[in-house]
Structure 1
Amino acid sequence: MKASWVILHAVLALHISLTWSFNGELAELECPDDCDCHYFRINWVTDCSDSNLTEIPYEELSLNVYVLDLNNNRITSVGPFPADIKMRRLQMADNLMTEVKKESFAGLNYLIDADFSGNMITRVDPDSFDDSPGFITFELQGNPLDKVEGPFLSIKSLLYLDISNCGLKYLNPLFFANITALSTLDLSGNPLGVIDNKVLEPLSSLETLKMNDCNLTYIANYAFVSLENLKNLELSGNIFTTTDWSSVFDYLPRLEYLDLRYSAIKQLPETVFSNNTYLRTLILAQNELNSFDVSHTVGKLQQLDSLDLSFCNLSLPLSEDAFVNATKIRSLYLSGNSLFASDLLVALAPLSHLEKLSLSNCGLTRLPDTFHNFKSLQELDISHNPLDDAFVKLLTPLDKLEYLNMGYSNLSYIAPTSFSKMTNMRRLVLSGNEVNNLEAGLFGNLTRLESLELNFCGLRRAINATLFFNNLTYTDLTELQLAGNPLHVSKSGPLFPKQLSRLENLDLSNCNLTFLPPDAFYWTRNITTLVLRGNHFSTPNDLRFLELLPKLEVLDLRYNNLSTFSPKDIAVNPNVEKLKLIGNPWKCDCSVAELWDWANLEKGNLAILEGSTIGAEHVTVGKTNKRKKLLVCSYDTNKQPLPIIMNKTVPGRRPFIKPQRVLTSTNRTWAKYVRESGCEQPANLQRSPRAAKTDSEGHLRGSELEPNTWAAAAIKAAVVYITLMAIIGIAFVLAKKRRAPKTAAFDKNN
């Protein structure tokens, strides 16, 4: 009995020790000196990017590293990595690697994704990832690959391959022979010239194929014969001349999305899409389709939902039967063609289901009197046309319109009744028109308006009360854009009227502002996002208006003239979740460290300081540019030599492994400077209980169950379940042992 209690206590102790690590903070793991490490959700990220490294700090890595970011260094070779490392994603973009070797990645049993884009790689060992059975994503774009004679890779699990812009001029018939599970392939930017019949034959599982900007002049008739599962095909930016499109597309019965933008196509046969009955999105924009007859080609696609014929130099008039068989079209883009209102009047008549219509850059001086047919039209773009106020009455029937773009239409006057019947309007764009004097009551009836864009309108003063109804709060109007207006701001008084009291998002970027009065937002205290990018704020004293914004969550001060900033400057804004400070001339002093420690310890989330840590956008598969824009500060160059930084252990900052460091550059990223500075922390700055809670970047938020919390909860539930099963099993065994002698005696007597 005593032994059973010992076992039970041991099991319970194991359960408590496992669950405790998830109730408190996640454990700090190893981190190289030249790197910044943190949790992204519950995964350990080691960010060594932009660190001028010439080799990987293998011995300083944690075996539990989930993402290792080595982007933008000077590393020439890889591996091998420590045994038992559990790395899932390896990012080595923009280094100096010349080869991918098998021995470099031996033992990486957990590796899923690798990004080697932007190196100098000429050769890839086909068996490089044999030890990674779950390897599914490989990004190699932007490497000068040599000609490949046989199979390029041998990875049965690979689903995503990006070898765009690799200088490939030829693909041999065996190139894809050993990666037959591919579902997404990007070959864009390679000067392939032609696609032969056998090249793509092994890729029967392919669903997305991108061959944009490949200098393609010809695709063989049977090149797509095995691609019956292909749904998305991109062929934009080529120079097709002799391709038989009817034969090529005939083998793609499941095709849903086709992009032929800017591919020198001048004509398409009438039967080109006869076997593509599921085609829903067709993009033919920026082709010289002078003599293109819409009715004989795309007009036959009965399932077509979206058609883009923008900038196709259409010379044939749109006939009355252009869309008579494609009546399901909901999105039609005709921008950039020289059109006449009379042709549009008859051609658009059958499109009673139209929801989006773009007629920008069409040289229209008036609009067709056909808008009464579009009972479902929700979005209309008539921007960049030489219109005047005479057209407004033709838009009157569009009472269901939710988005109207009249930007850059040479308007200087807008009548006060222009939008009186558009009571469903949610977004209105008037940017780029010199409408210095907006008429009283112009926006009065737009009671459902959510977003108003008046960028670059030459406005000298902000929105005033006369534009709206008196004594009416526009409860849905939450976004206002006034970027690029040379605003003249008074030294005192509110910037906006009481009617805009529900405003949440305000853009005042590039408005030549040097200050805003302290009571600028007296009536608009619900602002959560304030964009002041590209102005001339230089000291925290210029930001006293923040005191009236208790709900502020996002503050964008990028590219101003600030050299210092303190947590005290936003002490009255307790809900701040994002500070955008990149592009200011920051000084490397202890105010930088103070702000860093505030975000790390008090707020519990370094990602509040945009440019300090790695985020989701920096590890997104397929994203062309994952490089971070970093927060950078500089020392006073008049103080030479640069100081020797002593290794100090400070709460919330990781100590250095090496005993001392000597600065060699006047410019430092904030992450490096804070660790090297030795700045003392304020006595009242402690790790807040909020620091144990993560937000979307890895720190709890109240009691919300974000993905990381779900993961922790799932692990805890699993531990509890296993523990209970173990206890039940132990109890069952002990009970059976106690019954065993009695059972044996009973059997003997019988």
Structure 2
Amino acid sequence: MFLSYFLVLVFSFHCGLSATCPRRCSCDPAQSVQCYRATGIPREIPFTTRRLYISHSKIKQLQITDFRRMPALEELVLSCSGTESIENNTFKALSTLKSLELYKNQLKQIPTFLPPGLEILKLADNSINTLHASDFEGLMKLRVLDIRNNLIATLPPSAFSSLCNLQSLILDGNKVESVSAPLKLPKLKYLSMVDNKLNSFPTDFFVSFQNLQFLSLSGNFLTKVPLALPKSLLSLKLEKNQLKTVRLQDMKHLENLSEFFLTENQLTSIDGAQLLPNLTRLELSKNQLHTMPLRLPSRLQKLDCSNNLIQRVTAQDFQGLQDLKHLFLDNNAVRSFEAGALQQCAQLSNLALEQNLLVSIPLRQVDTLARLDLKGNDIEGIGEQELKDLKQLQVLNLRNNKISALDGKVLEYLPRLRQLYLDGNPWNCTCDLLRTRRALVAKGTDVRGGQCAAPAESRGESWMSSRKILQQCGDHLSSLERVKEERKKMKASEIDDDYYDYELD
């Protein structure tokens, strides 16, 4: 009896919602309403609505009367609707509102008199140019404030004084050139000021951020790492600035720092990162490093020194790096790679050395290596000594080198090889090479073989698929091999040449 009564109530409620759902909107029993291409806030929205989403509409102005019939509203999203202005007190009566998102509109100021229970406020991609002392007044429960991609030039501390529970502040893509006084945000955990015009910070700017864990200042004009950063930091991003040096001595108090991003600066050297004992990721790509970083922390797991000017790699560079898993040295000028240089890196699985000046595969690699990229070097041959330690190797990229011959016996040292990239080399398509080809096909290795450079009659032919070459060597594929070959062609066509999967088995 009770169940029947309950079902009648649910059915009636659902029908009621459907009957009152406005045009160009969809309503569901969970009290959510979604509207598109509206010209105003629909009047027929059910009074029980808890979540209202309006996008891609033409609503130039919001008025205080628009939301009077929504006493249960908890979440309001109005995006991409050309909204320019909001009448005073429009949201004040929405006592249950917790999340307000008004991104991608044309607002020029922060809405006034926001409800005190608000926890999330997102106003990204508008035209707000000034923050006033009263903008966030009374918002003591606000946890997330996102005002990225506006026109804000200054950050008056008084504007943030009420935000005692703010945990995330996103100010990316504004026009902030300087900050004069510290912001008192004791519970802030995430601060992002990417792509502004900052060139420095006052020494005391971060003094109240005792719980800050993630700080991103990328895309500014900083010439120095800000001083007195909070000890609680876990991640620090300073990419795309104008740093020429990093005084790690001034950062040694950051004992919890795990990630440090310094990509696209003007650094010529790095020394002493061991002062950051818990650092696991160090990004130094696109700088002007001539040598490997010195004295790195023992817990480092990923080191990216790609796109620099490094010429030499030695064993001393990697002393104590027993936790290193991913090493990127591509797009440098490495000519010399000391044999066994990475022997202490007992967990190394991925090594990127493409686009360097190596004439041979570095010797005595660690046996944990799963991927080795050597594309675009000057390697002329592949020998037993170079591959015998690579029992775990799954991907070998030798594209665009100077290799002309490949001994199938050498590849027997790579029992787990899944992908082999050999195209872009000047192959001499002898019958020995074709026998190697057959062994690879039988093994199930996915091979990009490339084209023949010799002999003349085979020039331009693919040595992995040319029937002409196969016939010349008297080597005919069985029907099973043909099936395998077709599968490999299909699989190869789906592979993104630039994809770098460094989480292999």
What is the TM-score when the length of structure 2 is the normalising length? 0.70
- Alignment correspondent of 1:324: 252
Question: For 1:669-748, what aligned pairs fall within 5 Å after superposition?
Answer: none
Residue type matched to 2:43 in 1?
K
Q: Show CA shifts across 1:70-106 (max 9, x none).
A: xxxxxxx951769x954776666xx644333132x33
Q: What is the 5 A alignment of 1:519-538?
A: 521-524=441-444
Matched residues, number:
438
Cα gap change, 1:487/1:140 in structure 2, threshold over 3 Å: closer, same or farther?
A: farther
> Is the contact made by 2:84 and 2:108 (CA closer than 8 Å) also made in structure 1?
no
- 1:370 and 2:295 aligned: yes
Measured in 1, the distance between the counterparts of 2:175 and 2:484 equals 56
Say if 2:213 and 2:233, in contact at 8 Å, map to a contact too: yes
| Partner-residue secondary structure (3-state), 1:244 | coil
Q: What is the CA distance between 1:339 and its match in structure 2?
A: 2.9
Show the counterpart of 1:352: 277
- Give the one of 247, 250, 265 matched to 1:337: 265
1:273 positional shift: 1.5
SS in 1 for 2:271: helix
Distance 1:87 1:543 in 2: 56
Structure 2 counterpart of 1:282, one-letter code: L
- CA drift of 1:399 comes to 2.8
Q: Structure 1: give runs of 5+ residues left out of the alignment.
A: 1-6, 15-61, 67-76, 531-541, 561-750
8 Å contact kept, 1:217–1:243: no
Structure 2 match to 1:100: 41
- CA separation of 1:320/1:420 partners in 2, compared to 1, >3 Å: closer, same or farther? closer
Instruction: Give the Cα–Cα distance (whole angstroms) in 1 for the partners of residues 486 and 71 of structure 2.
Output: 55
* Cα distance, 1:314 vs structure 2: 2.9
Give the gaps of 5 or more residues in structure 2.
Answer: 5-13, 426-436, 449-480, 498-505
Counterparts of 1:47-58 in structure 2, within 5 Å, are: none
Number of the residue aligned with 1:269: 202
Give distance in 1, aligned partners of 2:143 and 2:382. Answer: 50
Query: Partner residue of 2:344?
Result: 421
The sequence identity of aligned pairs, in percent, is: 19
8 Å CA contact retained: 2:292, 2:313: no
Q: Do the aligned residues in 1 keep the contact of 2:178 with 2:199 (CA within 8 Å)?
A: no
Q: What corresponds to 1:537 in structure 2?
A: none
RMSD over equivalenced CA pairs, Å: 4.8
Larger relative CO (CA 8 A, sep 6+): 1 or 2?
Answer: 1
Distance between the aligned counterparts of 1:193 and 1:235, measured in 2?
12
State the alpha-carbon separation in 1 of the partners of residues 32 and 378 from structure 2. 49
Q: Distance in 2 between matches of 1:464 and 1:89?
A: 66
Give the counterpart letter for 2:149 in structure 1: D
Equivalent position of 1:226 in the other structure: 162
The amino acid that maps onto 1:196 is H
Corresponding letter in the other structure for 2:215? L
Write out aligned runs for 1:155-554 (5 A). 155-174=94-113, 176-177=114-115, 180-241=116-177, 243-246=179-182, 249-250=183-184, 252-290=185-223, 292=224, 294=226, 296-298=227-229, 301-314=230-243, 317-319=245-247, 321-341=249-269, 344-345=270-271, 348=273, 350-371=275-296, 374-390=297-313, 393-411=316-334, 414-433=337-356, 438-439=360-361, 442=363, 445-453=365-373, 457=376, 467-469=386-388, 473-474=391-392, 477=393, 480=395, 485=399, 497=411, 502=416, 521-524=441-444, 544-545=483-484
Give 1:276's aligned amino acid.
F
Q: How far does the alpha carbon of each residue in 1:212-237 deviate from its partner, in whole angstroms, 9 at most, with x for none?
A: 22111123322112211111111122
Cα offset, 1:293, TM superposition: 6.3
Q: Flag the 1:139–1:522 CA change in 2: closer, same or farther, 3 A.
A: farther
Following superposition, the deviation at residue 144 of structure 1 comes to: 1.1
Measured at CA, do residues 358 and 81 of structure 1 come closer, stay the same or move farther in structure 2, by a change above 3 Å? Answer: closer
Q: Provide closer, same or farther for how the CA distance between residues 155 and 507 of structure 1 changes in structure 2, counting only shifts above 3 A.
A: farther
* Secondary structure, aligned partner of 1:140: strand
Alpha-carbon spacing, 1:548–1:101, altered in 2? closer, same or farther (3 Å): closer
- SS state of the match for residue 258, structure 1? strand
Q: Is the 8 A contact 2:179 2:202 kept in 1?
A: no
Taking the aligned partners of 2:233 and 2:170, their CA distance within structure 1 comes to 17
Note the alpha carbon deviations across 1:539-594, whole angstroms, 9 max, x for none: xxx99437778xx9x9974999xxxxxxxxxxxxxxxxxxxxxxxxxxxxxxxxxx
Q: Deviations over 1:456-487 (max 9, x none)?
A: 637999999774327x741xx55x3859x569
Find the residue that maps to 2:250 and give its secondary structure. Answer: coil
Q: Aligned in 2, Cα 1:262/1:85: closer, same or farther, shift over 3 Å?
A: closer
Distance 1:363 1:521, change over 3 A: same
Distance 1:559 1:193 in 2: 43
Contact between 2:231 and 2:254, CA under 8 Å: does it hold in 1? yes
Give the AA of the match of 1:260: M
* CA distance, structure 2, for counterparts of residue 358 and residue 221 of structure 1: 33
Structure 1: distance between partners of 2:206 and 2:141 = 22
- Label 1:559 to 1:391 Cα distance change in 2 as closer, same or farther (>3 A): closer
- Give the letter aligned to residue 228 of structure 2: T
Pick closer, same or farther for the CA change 1:167–1:375 going to 2, 3 Å.
Answer: same
| C-alpha separation in 2, matches of 1:196 and 1:207 | 19
Secondary structure, counterpart of 1:194 in structure 2:
coil
Q: CA deviation at 1:385?
A: 0.8
Q: Deviations over 1:484-512 (max 9, x none)?
A: x569999xx99x945555467x698x999
Q: Which residue of 2 aligns with 1:150?
A: 88
Q: Aligned AA for 1:468?
A: L
Q: Secondary structure at the match of 1:223?
A: helix
Q: What pairs with 1:539-688 in structure 2 (closer than 5 Å)?
A: 544-545=483-484, 557=494
TM-score norm. by structure 1 comes to 0.49
Distance 1:88 1:447, change over 3 A: farther
Cα distance in 2, alignment partners of residues 388 and 380 from structure 1: 17
Structure-1 separation of matches of 2:420 and 2:94: 48
The change in CA–CA distance for 1:458 and 1:409 in structure 2 (over 3 A counts) is closer
* Alpha-carbon distance in 2 for matches of 1:156, 1:333: 42
1:202 positional shift: 4.1
Distance 2:167 2:194 in 1: 17
Offset at residue 195 of structure 1 (A): 1.0
Instruction: After TM superposition, give the deviation of residue 188 of structure 1 in Å.
Output: 1.8
Q: Per the alignment, do residues 172 and 463 of structure 1 end up closer, same or farther by CA in structure 2, a change over 3 Å counting?
A: farther
Pick closer, same or farther for the CA change 1:156–1:556 going to 2, 3 Å.
farther
Determine the C-alpha separation between the residues in 1 that align with 2:485 and 2:140: 58
Query: Per the alignment, do residues 353 and 99 of structure 1 end up closer, same or farther by CA in structure 2, a change over 3 Å counting?
Result: same
1:387 Cα deviation from its structure 2 partner: 0.8
Q: Which amino acid aligns with 2:193?
A: L
